[in-house]
C-alpha cells in the first residue's frame, strides 16, 4: 500500500477526541467499505487492532512528583532515567491506585518576567506595582486583550487565542478563566457556541432551573469540573467526596462505575428535588458530556490571574515589560526576534547596544524622540560577548566614567576577560559607535590598541610607569592611524544581523521601500490580520530557508522566512512551487509573492502561487506610466529630454503626459506607441532626476489571480481519496 493510500485511509477516520478503530468502522461508511472490500486495507486495520492501546514508548512526566508516607523503593518499582533522575516504573494510574500522592510542580518563566518588570518599574520610575493586588477592571488591559495584542501574555499569545480574544471581547478575569479552560482539544468545539452565547446571539436554556446558578457565569455551558460536582450536590444530594468520585468516573469513562453512578444520581435527584427519572437521566447525560473534558477551575483561575498580570504590565508599562521579555529570551535569537517585532509594532524603539550606556540586560532608556522611552539592547545578548566580559566593562565604567575611545576601553578592562573576539563583536555590532570613530577605523586599530593595553598592564604588574605618567591624570590615548571610510552599508547590516538578530543602522529592504509601497497589497503585519485563505501580494527579503523532503510523499518543500520593513512572515513552498522557484529561494534575495495567506495556525504562513524577483515587478504589474509635468516649465527641450528617456527604455507600457496648467487643471496626453516604455526602478530614478521628484507615476494592476486548488483538493475533484 502506497503512502498516498495510507493518507486517504487516515482521512476516512473521524477527527474526534478519543476515537478508536472500532468506533471509526461504525461511523465511517467509506472506511467500512474499504475494510470489507480491500484485502490490503483489512490486513492493515487488523494489525492496527493488535497494536491499539499498547504503550509506544516509556515517557516521564515533565513536572510530576510522587509523594509517599515512607521511602518509595518500598512501595513501587523505581529506575534511573537517562539523565540520572530517579523515576517510577509505574504509569500514573497504578501510582494513584496505590494511594500515593501525585503532584505537578511547574516552573514558569512568566513569573520571572513579572518580577523583573516590577523591579525595573521601581528602579526607573519609582513606582511600586501591586502585582498581587492589581485592579481587575483596568481598561487598558482589556483593550490590549480585545485587540489581540497578546504576544508575551501568558496562555493567550498563540494565534488561535489572539483570534479568540478579539471575537469574544473579554471583560473580566472570569472570562479569561473560561477561555483558558475551553481552548483545549475537546471543549474547543464549544467555543463558537460560547462566543454566540456571550453576545446574545444564542438563547441560553438550562436543563433544570437549579443549574442556572451553577452555570450562569459560563452562559449555561458546564466547562469546569467543579460545576459538575456542584450539580451533583445540589440536584441529587451528593456529598463533596461522592461528587468527586462521580467526576472521576465520568472523566475516565468507566462503564460499570458509570452505570451505578447513574442509578445513584437518579435516586438522589428524586429524593432531593422530586426530579422525575427521565429528566434526571437527561441531566446525567448532560453532566457526563461536559465532565469528559471539564477543566479544573482553580487551575484555570490561577492561570487567568497570571495572564491578567502579564497583560496589565504590558498595557501599562510596555517598555519595562518588553525589556524583561527580551532579557528572558536573549539566549534564543528566534524568540528574541518575536519580541523585537512586537516592540516595533507597539512603537517602542529598541536602541543599539552601547558600551557607554548599556547594561548586561535589556533596559529602559530615553528614546531618540524626547517624550518617548526606548529600550537599550542588552550587552550580554550580543553573540560572542559573555556575561563576565560585560560585567568587567560595566565595573570599569562605574569606576572611571565613560570610555573616551577604543584604546582607553582596552586599557581599562582585563584583556583576559574582554579579549579580541569580544571586542571584534562589540565593534561590528555598533556597541562601540559612541567612541567616536568609524567601525572600520576601530577594527583596523584593534591590534595596536590591544598591544598598547598589554604593554601598560605588564608595566603595572612590575610596578613601573612612564616618566610622564606620574603627571598625567589619565592615560594618553593611542595615536590613531587616521579615520578610515566606514564599511559598506550591506557589510554593516550583515554584521548587525549576525550578532544581534536585528538591524541597527538601516534595513536591507529600505532601498526597495518605494516598490513595496507601490506594488504590494499587504505587508507582513497586515497579512496576519487577513481572513484565512485570502489571496494577496506582498514582498520581502529572504532571511532564512529551511529545506526538506516530505515524509508523506517524498517530495521537496522549503519553509522560507520573509522579512520586510514591518516584520517577518513564513512562506511554505510545497513540491511544485519549490521546484519551479528553487533559484529564487536563497537568503538575501528580495522577492514579490502572489499567494494565499493561512492564519489558522499559530504561525501564519503564505502559500505562493507565483514568485518573482522584486526588481522585475514594475515590468509585470505596471499598466501605464504617467509623467507629471508643470505647464509653466514645459519647454521644447524638456519634451525632447522626455522623448529620449522613453526611447532609452523601450517597452510595451503606454506613456501619458499629465500636464498641470496654471489654473490647476490637468491635461492628459497619450503618447504614440513608439514611445511605450519598459517600467523599472532605473527609469523612475532617471525621470525624477531630470524633472524633479514625484514626476514619475506608475498606474499599477492590483487584480489578483483566483486561488489555485491544493493537490488534495484537485484529487477530490477527480474522485480520488
Evaluate whether 614 touches 512 at the Cβ level (below 8 Å). Answer: yes
At 599, phi and psi to the nearest 5? Answer: -105, 15
According to DSSP, the β-strands at 64-67 and 101-104 are antiparallel
Name which residue leads in pLDDT, 671 or 476.
Answer: 671
| pLDDT tens figures, 610-640 | 999 999 999 999 999 999 988 887 888 888 9
CB neighbour burial string for 115-148, b if at least 16 within 10 angstroms, e if fewer: ebbbebbeebeeeebeeeebeeeeeebbebbbeb
Cα gap 228→242, rounded to integer Å: 12
Cα gap 287→222, rounded to integer Å: 8
Structural domains in the chain, sorted by start: 3-51 (no CATH), 64-104 (no CATH), 124-300 (no CATH), 317-490 (1.10.150), 510-615 (2.40.50.140), 619-700 (3.40.1350)
Evaluate whether 523 touches 565 at the Cβ level (below 8 Å). Answer: yes
Q: pLDDT averaged over the chain? A: 87
Cell of 353: 547596544
Evaluate whether 658 touches 697 at the Cβ level (below 8 Å). Answer: yes
pLDDT of residue 592: 95
Angle formed at CA 535 by CA 344 and CA 595, multiple of 5 degrees: 80
Say yes or no to pLDDT of 470 above 50: no
> Nearest CA to 320 among 505, 464, 477, 120?
120
- CA distance to 183, 195, 196, per residue, from 200 (Å): 21, 9, 6
Which helix (H) or strand (E) is 658 found in, with range?
A: strand 655-660
- Residues in Cβ contact with 535 at an 8 Å cutoff, skipping those fewer than 6 apart: 594, 595, 596, 597, 609, 704, 705, 706, 707
**Mean pLDDT score, 37-62:** 84
Say yes or no to pLDDT of 696 above 50: yes
Cα gap 48→482, rounded to integer Å: 77
Say yes or no to pLDDT of 320 above 90: yes
| pLDDT tens figures, 85-119 | 889 988 888 888 888 998 888 778 899 999 999 99
Cell of 83: 539523565
**Range in 258-262, 550-554, 589-593 with the lowest mean pLDDT:** 550-554
According to DSSP, the β-strands at 86-88 and 568-573 are unpaired
Cα gap 503→337, rounded to integer Å: 11
pLDDT of residue 478: 46
Cα gap 336→330, rounded to integer Å: 6
| pLDDT tens figures, 342-354 | 888 888 989 999 9
- CA distance to 18, 156, 216, 289, per residue, from 527 (Å): 36, 20, 38, 39
Evaluate the CA torsion angle 514, 515, 519, 523 in order and state its sign: negative
Say yes or no to pLDDT of 509 above 70: yes
Cell of 482: 587616521
Which helix (H) or strand (E) is 373 found in, with range?
A: strand 373-376
Q: What is the DSSP string of 157-177?
A: -SHHHHHHHHHH---SHHHHH
Angle formed at CA 300 by CA 298 and CA 305, multiple of 5 degrees: 95
| pLDDT tens figures, 138-194 | 999 999 999 988 999 999 988 789 889 999 999 999 999 999 999 987 788 889 999
Judge residue 170's burial from the number of C-beta atoms within 10 Å of its C-beta, 0-12 exposed, 13-18 middle, 19 or more buried. Answer: buried
pLDDT-derived band at 718, boundaries 50, 70, 90: very low
pLDDT of residue 422: 95
pLDDT-derived band at 325, boundaries 50, 70, 90: very high
> How close are the terminal C-alpha atoms of the chain, in Å?
13
> Residue 531, SS3?
coil
**Mean pLDDT score, 17-30:** 84
pLDDT-derived band at 477, boundaries 50, 70, 90: very low
pLDDT-derived band at 601, boundaries 50, 70, 90: low
pLDDT of residue 720: 41
Q: Which long-range contacts (CB under 8 A, 24 or more apart) does 413-416 make?
A: 413/389, 415/450, 415/453, 415/454, 415/457
pLDDT of residue 475: 47
CB neighbour burial string for 272-307, b if at least 16 within 10 angstroms, e if fewer: ebebeeebbeebbebbbebbbbbbebeebbebbbbb
| pLDDT tens figures, 272-291 | 999 999 999 998 888 887 77
- CA distance to 347, 351, 392, 404, 432, per residue, from 357 (Å): 21, 10, 14, 13, 10
- CA distance to 83, 186, 193, 303, 555, per residue, from 168 (Å): 44, 19, 11, 18, 41
| pLDDT tens figures, 366-421 | 876 656 789 999 999 999 898 999 999 999 999 999 999 999 999 999 888 999 99
Tell me the CB-side half-sphere exposure of residue 453, using CA atoms within 13 A.
21
pLDDT of residue 572: 92
Cα gap 112→306, rounded to integer Å: 12
pLDDT of residue 323: 96
Name which residue leads in pLDDT, 411 or 555.
Answer: 411
**Mean pLDDT score, 484-490:** 89
Neighbours of 711 (CB within 10 A): 12
Report the Cα 445 to chain-centroid distance in Å: 41
Give the predicted TM-score (pTM) of the model. 0.74
Name which residue leads in pLDDT, 356 or 600.
Answer: 356
Name which residue leads in pLDDT, 568 or 540.
Answer: 540
Say yes or no to pLDDT of 524 above 60: yes
Cα gap 442→423, rounded to integer Å: 10
pLDDT of residue 501: 82
Which helix (H) or strand (E) is 628 found in, with range?
A: strand 622-630
Cα gap 399→353, rounded to integer Å: 20
pLDDT of residue 368: 67
Phi/psi zone of residue 627: left (φ > 0), alpha (ψ -120 to 50 degrees), beta? beta
**Mean pLDDT score, 449-465:** 79
Cα gap 329→430, rounded to integer Å: 21
pLDDT-derived band at 5, boundaries 50, 70, 90: low
- Residues in Cβ contact with 719 at an 8 Å cutoff, skipping those fewer than 6 apart: none
Cα gap 563→558, rounded to integer Å: 16
pLDDT-derived band at 309, boundaries 50, 70, 90: very high
The DSSP letter of residue 187 is G
Evaluate whether 553 touches 586 at the Cβ level (below 8 Å). Answer: no
Name which residue leads in pLDDT, 599 or 431.
Answer: 431
pLDDT of residue 479: 47
pLDDT of residue 710: 58
pLDDT-derived band at 606, boundaries 50, 70, 90: very high
Amino acid at each position: 500500500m502506497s503512502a498516498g493510500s495510507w493518507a486517504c485511509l487516515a482521512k476516512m477516520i473521524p477527527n474526534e477526541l478519543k476515537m478508536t478503530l472500532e468506533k471509526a468502522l461504525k461511523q465511517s461508511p467509506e472506511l467500512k467499505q474499504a475494510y470489507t472490500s480491500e484485502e490490503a486495507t483489512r490486513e492493515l486495520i487488523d494489525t492496527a487492532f493488535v497494536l491499539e492501546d499498547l504503550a509506544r514508548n516509556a515517557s516521564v512526566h515533565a513536572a510530576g512528583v510522587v509523594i509517599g508516607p515512607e521511602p518509595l523503593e518500598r512501595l513501587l518499582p523505581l529506575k534511573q532515567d537517562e539523565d540520572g533522575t530517579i523515576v517510577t516504573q509505574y504509569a500514573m494510574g497504578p501510582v494513584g491506585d496505590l494511594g500515593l500522592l501525585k503532584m505537578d510542580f511547574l516552573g514558569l518563566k512568566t513569573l520571572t518576567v513579572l518580577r523583573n518588570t516590577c523591579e525595573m518599574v521601581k528602579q526607573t520610575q519609582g513606582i511600586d506595582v501591586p502585582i498581587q493586588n492589581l485592579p481587575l477592571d483596568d481598561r487598558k488591559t482589556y483593550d490590549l486583550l480585545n485587540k489581540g495584542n497578546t504576544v508575551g501574555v501568558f496562555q493567550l499569545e498563540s494565534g488561535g487565542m489572539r483570534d479568540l480574544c478579539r471575537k469574544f471581547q473579554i471583560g473580566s478575569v472570569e472570562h479569561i478563566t473560561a477561555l483558558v479552560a475551553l481552548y483545549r482539544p475537546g471543549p474547543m468545539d464549544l467555543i463558537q457556541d460560547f462566543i454566540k452565547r456571550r453576545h446574545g446571539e444564542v438563547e441560553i436554556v438550562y436543563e433544570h432551573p437549579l443549574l442556572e446558578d451553577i452555570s450562569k457565569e459560563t452562559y449555561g455551558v458546564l466547562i469546569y469540573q467543579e460545576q459538575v460536582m456542584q450539580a451533583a450536590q445540589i440536584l441529587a444530594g451528593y456529598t463533596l467526596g461522592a461528587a468527586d468520585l462521580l467526576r472521576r468516573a465520568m472523566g475516565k469513562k468507566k462503564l460499570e462505575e458509570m452505570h451505578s453512578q447513574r442509578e445513584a444520581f437518579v435516586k438522589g435527584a428524586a429524593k432531593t428535588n422530586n426530579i422525575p427519572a427521565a429528566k434526571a437521566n437527561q441531566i446525567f447525560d448532560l453532566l457526563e458530556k461536559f465532565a469528559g473534558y471539564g477543566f479544573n477551575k482553580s487551575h484555570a483561575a490561577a492561570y487567568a490571574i497570571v495572564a491578567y498580570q502579564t497583560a496589565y504590565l504590558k498595557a501599562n508599562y510596555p517598555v519595562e515589560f518588553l525589556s524583561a521579555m527580551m532579557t528572558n529570551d536573549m539566549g534564543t535569537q528566534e524568540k528574541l526576534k518575536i519580541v523585537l517585532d512586537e516592540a516595533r509594532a507597539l512603537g517602542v524603539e529598541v536602541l543599539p547596544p552601547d558600551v557607554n550606556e548599556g547594561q548586561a540586560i535589556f533596559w529602559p532608556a530615553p528614546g531618540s524622540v524626547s517624550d518617548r522611552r526606548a529600550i537599550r539592547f542588552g550587552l550580554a545578548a550580543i553573540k560572542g560577548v559573555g556575561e563576565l566580559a560585560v560585567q568587567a566593562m560595566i565595573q570599569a565604567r562605574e569606576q572611571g566614567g565613560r570610555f573616551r575611545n577604543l584604546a582607553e576601553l582596552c586599557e581599562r578592562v582585563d584583556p583576559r576577560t574582554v579579549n579580541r573576539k569580544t571586542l571584534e563583536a562589540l565593534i561590528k555590532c555598533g556597541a562601540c559607535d559612541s567612541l567616536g570613530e568609524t567601525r572600520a577605523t576601530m577594527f583596523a586599530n584593534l591590534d595596536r590598541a590591544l598591544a598598547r593595553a598589554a604593554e601598560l598592564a605588564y608595566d603595572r604588574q612590575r610596578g613601573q610607569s612612564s616618566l610622564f605618567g606620574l603627571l598625567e591624570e589619565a592615560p594618553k590615548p593611542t595615536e590613531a592611524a587616521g579615520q578610515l571610510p566606514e564599511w559598506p552599508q550591506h557589510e554593516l547590516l550583515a554584521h548587525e544581523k549576525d550578532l544581534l538578530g536585528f538591524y541597527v543602522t538601516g534595513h536591507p529592504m529600505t532601498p526597495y521601500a518605494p516598490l513595496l509601497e507601490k506594488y504590494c497589497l499587504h505587508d507582513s503585519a497586515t497579512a496576519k490580520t487577513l481572513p484565512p485563505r485570502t489571496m494577496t501580494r506582498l514582498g520581502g527579503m529572504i532571511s532564512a530557508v529551511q529545506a526538506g523532503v516530505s515524509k508523506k510523499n517524498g517530495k521537496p518543500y522549503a519553509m522560507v522566512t520573509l522579512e520586510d520593513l514591518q516584520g517577518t512572515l513564513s512562506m511554505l513552498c510545497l513540491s511544485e512551487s519549490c521546484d519551479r522557484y528553487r533559484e529564487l529561494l536563497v537568503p538575501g534575495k528580495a522577492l514579490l509573492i502572489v499567494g494565499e495567506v493561512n492564519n489558522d495556525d499559530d504561525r501564519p504562513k503564505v502559500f505562493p502561487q507565483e514568485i518573482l524577483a522584486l526588481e522585475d515587478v514594475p515590468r509585470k504589474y505596471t499598466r501605464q506610466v504617467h509623467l507629471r509635468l508643470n505647464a509653466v516649465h514645459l519647454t521644447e527641450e524638456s519634451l525632447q529630454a522626455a522623448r529620449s528617456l522613453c526611447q532609452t527604455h523601450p517597452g510595451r507600457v503606454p506613456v501619458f503626459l499629465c500636464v498641470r496648467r496654471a489654473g490647476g487643471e490637468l491635461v492628459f496626453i497619450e503618447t504614440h506607441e513608439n514611445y511605450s516604455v519598459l517600467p523599472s526602478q532605473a527609469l523612475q530614478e532617471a525621470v525624477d532626476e531630470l524633472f524633479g521628484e514625484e514626476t514619475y507615476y506608475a498606474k499599477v494592476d492590483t487584480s489578483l489571480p483566483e486561488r489555485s486548488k491544493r493537490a488534495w483538493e484537485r484529487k477530490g475533484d477527480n474522485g480520488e481519496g
